[in-house]
Amino acid sequence: MHGVLSEVEKLCSMLVEKKLIFSKYDELGVVVFGTEESKNDLTTEVGGYQNITVLQDIKVVDGDLVDTLQKLPRGRVDVVLDAIVVGMDMLIKKYKDLHKGKKRLCLITNAIHPIKDSFEGSKEDQVMTIAEQMAAQGMKIESIVVRGRLSRDANKGVMDENDHLLSIFSKKTRTRIVYVDTPTSLLGALKTRRVTPVTVFRGHLELSPQMKIKVWVYKKTQEEKFPTLKKYSEKAPASNKLATHQVKVSYEYKSVDGSSTSVIPPEQRIKGYRYGPQVVPISTAEWDAVKFKPEKGIKVLGFTDASKIKRHCYMKDVYLFIAEPGNTRATLAVSAIARAMKEMNAVAILRCVWRQGQQNVVVGPDSFYFNVLPFAEDVREYQFPSFNSFPASWQPNDQQQKAADELVQMLDLAPSGKEALLPEFTPNPVLERFYRHLELKAKQPDAAVPPLDETLKNIVEPDPELVAENKSVFDALHRHFELRQNPKLKKSSRQWYQEKQSGSNAHVSSGQAVNSIENQPPVKIEKIGDLTPVQDFEAMMSQRDNPEWVEKAIKELREKILALLIHSDEGDKYQKAVDCVAALRKGCILEQEPGPYNDLMHHIRQYCEEKGIKSLPQLLASRDLTLISKSEAEDSSDVTAEEARSFFVKMEPKPDV
């Protein structure tokens, strides 16, 4: 397996990295077989079990285990059954009869070499004995068989025999055998964590008031999201082993009345919601009075042909409907309805309320896989003109149509009936990239972002072999379609940035725009000046030939704002500073970088409090230049909408005593 050991190292390292995030108290051990050396307890205690090395005894996952798995030794001997016995021995000695059902072995092999004969009985008898012992100890073994290019010259009879022996383990321990043939599918073969299915609903499926079927509903699919990274504190002493190092954030609401400041208890607070310039208070009791509270249950609204429910209308995760376990009548009823719907190619439209008092109701078709459908207000219809409405000179000819059709057919991921990227074996490349970068930054905080891994490139980039095989298709497309730049649509970078900020097109004719661009070539701005700092900032932000321009523009405008405040004489430069703050806020929102702007606003607040300045906070409040909240920069801001709204209250200078 030397050809794929590098991918195995990545797979096992990724497993530990994910466990450090999701299951940091899990315990792992590592056994490699086929090594030149022998290092395991059974070799010392009873003899035999050669060419098996325990790289890591079973212990709680940590960063050192990641380093161990990234440097697996190489060898030439195949002793797979002995390695399984060594793994079993480690689990038995560590846990004895504890944690039944939670002890798991994962075997990664190509299974193309013959297994050595047993001293007593056949190979099948030997495997059967091991499998029965594993079942008695509450262990499970999951086998990942890597074939593909490795098995081209292998003996098919040997592979069939090995597959049969591995299937015995699978049946006895009720686990699966996964066959993979590419590095990409290998990366997605081993699941990091087992998600136990939990019912979201247990109750009646109501077809009519007189006919109800008891069903259970599970979630079949769910989007895997980024892990929530919590704040970590180094204030706890290193000697305290029970310290969690977690940071807890609490808020106090204070009322400033004259010279005294009092904390408002929770029972005296009420939420307020902006309505134009006013804030409307709405109590919890008022919310409860108008809140929609449907009754728990699932009702069939009707049936329709499956062709009327388009796939693009499915909005959320998939749910699975089954009859109540052990209920024979419910099982027969569900089976009868499912078969009838299949024969008639029909779906049922359901109204589902999973919990009592649930605020939202979902509606969807059900072939006993449930998908949520959009309501009328969720549907967005986008009308596009037909190609037939264009003049004849714009219509594609037969050769162009053929070239476009061949390109679409070439992009098929399953041209021979075998899908190139199987969903169950294709990991999320964004998450995989995140885990690898997180592990690197944990050890080297100043490390640069590494290049994209070759395995992940196979997911996010076109297949080089596929592109090379279909070079004639691309050549035909280039030959029949000529790309030319339209001078009427050409825009300067500054005009593009200004339109992106305003969200509207400039009200000038195309002829004027062309003349303006031709007569005034864009000038590259390298520094924000004192005369027109806002215009210089916008020009620097629009220079996309180097990503450093954005960072430089934000930094220089921030320094310019602070300089205007410091050198202002009785507030004569405050208006210009506020204009710069407004430009900086827009730029940081567009780039989704709220940090520099929010830090500046906190600095301005502190400056105003120390100097007793009242006019500057009033100017900022009049322009609504508050903090950038999470609603404006969802992935990069920690400021809530309520904190942003109350920022001006905190900016009011302290009264003179």
First to last CA, the chain: 79
Second CATH level (architecture) for the domain 297-377: Beta Barrel (2.40)
The answer on pLDDT for 578 being more than 50 is yes
Second CATH level (architecture) for the domain 2-189: 3-Layer(aba) Sandwich (3.40)
Q: State residue 424's pLDDT score.
A: 79
The answer on pLDDT for 214 being more than 90 is yes
CATH topology of domain 533-646: 1.25.40
Task: Please report which confidence band the pLDDT of residue 405 belongs to, taking 50, 70 and 90 as the band edges.
Answer: very high
For residue range 169-178, what is the model confidence (pLDDT) as tens digits? 888 888 888 8
Q: State residue 509's pLDDT score.
A: 37
Task: Please report which confidence band the pLDDT of residue 507 belongs to, taking 50, 70 and 90 as the band edges.
Answer: very low
The answer on pLDDT for 546 being more than 80 is no
Mean pLDDT of 279-283: 89
Lowest mean pLDDT among 145-159, 239-253, 337-351: 145-159
Which is higher by pLDDT, 224 or 341? 341
- SS percent in the chain: helix, strand, coil, step 5: 45, 15, 40
Token reading at 88:
């079993």
Burial of 525 (0-12, 13-18, 19+ CB in 10 A): buried
Mean pLDDT of 290-301: 86
Residues 649 and 639: their CA atoms lie apart, in Å, by 15
Provide the whole-model pTM.
0.57
Q: State residue 204's pLDDT score.
A: 92
The answer on pLDDT for 553 being more than 60 is yes
Q: State residue 377's pLDDT score.
A: 83
Residues 496 and 513: their CA atoms lie apart, in Å, by 12
Q: State residue 515's pLDDT score.
A: 39
Domain residue ranges in the chain: 2-189, 297-377, 427-479, 533-646
What is the residue-averaged pLDDT of the chain? 81
Task: Please report which confidence band the pLDDT of residue 1 belongs to, taking 50, 70 and 90 as the band edges.
Answer: confident
Which is higher by pLDDT, 374 or 466? 374
Q: How far is CA 21 from the centre of its chain?
A: 14
For residue range 302-328, what is the model confidence (pLDDT) as tens digits? 999 988 888 888 888 888 898 998 899
Residues 6+ away with beta carbon under 8 Å from 12:
30, 69, 108
User: Is the separation of the CB atoms in 445 and 437 below 8 Å?
Assistant: no
Task: Please report which confidence band the pLDDT of residue 359 belongs to, taking 50, 70 and 90 as the band edges.
Answer: low
Mean pLDDT of 362-372: 71
